[in-house]
């Protein structure tokens, strides 16, 4: 009986240690259209996931969003950095003028029609020309949700990150050509997220 309980304890401890390191050695790909907003947000997500879980995360820039969603279907991409204006356009829906409502509509339509899950918004950002505001968010596949159950909690630490008083300076430095990986890491360190 004592031998059986020792074996059970060893098996339980192994199970917990495997679960804790389940993401280690795995690879995720984030798809973006190559612009300042998406590049910075993707690097923030990439660095945060890597530091918190040990998972390798690649950021892949595409010429068009059509290419991103084709890669998503082929499972070459697991996470997309998306914004409400573009998402509603994809769904042939009108922008309501209320970004929170637009986020809720985008979230529902993506889940219902494409089995894609919108995580908490990163917040409002102007487009590259400084014209319109839209909500940005990470969008993940159901497969990622199943295989990386802790991932939403990790990414959601970046909820409303654009409201940080330093974020404008950070995005401007990326747009002016500073190395995005270094900028993202420095910002996450200052926020005590890594």
Q: Which sequence spans correspond to the domains of the chain? A: 22-190
Q: What is the dihedral of CA 107, 109, 49, 183, to 10 degrees?
A: -70
> What is residue 129's predicted lDDT score, i.e. its pLDDT?
67
Q: Which long-range contacts (CB under 8 A, 24 or more apart) does 11-14 make?
A: none
Between residues 9 and 38, the one the model is more confident about:
38
Strand 27-33 to strand 56-62: parallel, antiparallel, or no bridges (unpaired)? parallel
> What is residue 3's predicted lDDT score, i.e. its pLDDT?
55
pTM: 0.84
* Alpha carbons 39 and 181: distance in angstroms, whole number: 9
Q: What is the pLDDT of residues 169-189, one digit of tens each?
A: 998 898 888 899 999 999 999
Average pLDDT over residues 68-97: 93
pLDDT confidence band for 24 (50 / 70 / 90): very low
> What is residue 7's predicted lDDT score, i.e. its pLDDT?
45
> What is residue 22's predicted lDDT score, i.e. its pLDDT?
43
Average pLDDT over residues 127-141: 83
Q: Which tokens go with 23?
A: 């993401």
Which residues have a Cβ under 8 Å from the Cβ of 156 and sit 6 or more positions away?
Answer: 119, 120
pLDDT confidence band for 35 (50 / 70 / 90): confident
Q: Which tokens go with 183?
A: 């900028």
Residue 110, SS3? helix
Between residues 1 and 6, the one the model is more confident about:
1
Task: Calculate the average pLDDT of the chain.
Answer: 86
Strand 79-83 to strand 56-62: parallel, antiparallel, or no bridges (unpaired)? unpaired
Q: Judge whether residue 124 has pLDDT over 50.
A: yes
Closest CA to 126 of 165, 162, 176, 82: 162
Q: Which CATH class is domain 22-190?
A: alpha beta
Between residues 40 and 34, the one the model is more confident about:
40
126, with CB counted inside 10 A (0-12, 13-18, 19+), is middle
């Amino acid at each position: 009986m004592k031998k059986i309980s020792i074996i059970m304890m060893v098996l339980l401890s192994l199970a917990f240690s495997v679960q804790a390191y389940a993401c280690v050695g795995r690879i995720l790909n984030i798809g973006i259209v190559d612009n300042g907003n998406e590049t910075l947000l993707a690097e923030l997500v990439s660095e945060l996931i890597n530091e918190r879980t040990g998972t390798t995360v690649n950021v892949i820039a595409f010429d068009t969003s059509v290419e991103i969603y084709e890669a998503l279907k082929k499972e070459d991409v697991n996470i997309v950095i998306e914004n409400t204006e573009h998402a509603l356009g994809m769904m042939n829906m009108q922008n309501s003028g209320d970004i929170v409502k637009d986020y809720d509509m985008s979230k529902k339509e993506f889940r219902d029609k494409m089995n894609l899950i919108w995580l908490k918004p990163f917040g409002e950002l102007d487009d590259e020309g400084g014209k319109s505001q839209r909500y940005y968010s990470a969008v993940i596949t159901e497969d990622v949700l199943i295989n990386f159950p802790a991932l939403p909690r990790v990414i959601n630490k970046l909820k409303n990150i654009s409201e940080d008083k330093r974020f404008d300076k950070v995005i401007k430095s990326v747009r002016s050509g500073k190395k995005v990986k270094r900028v993202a890491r420095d910002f996450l360190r200052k926020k005590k997220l890594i």
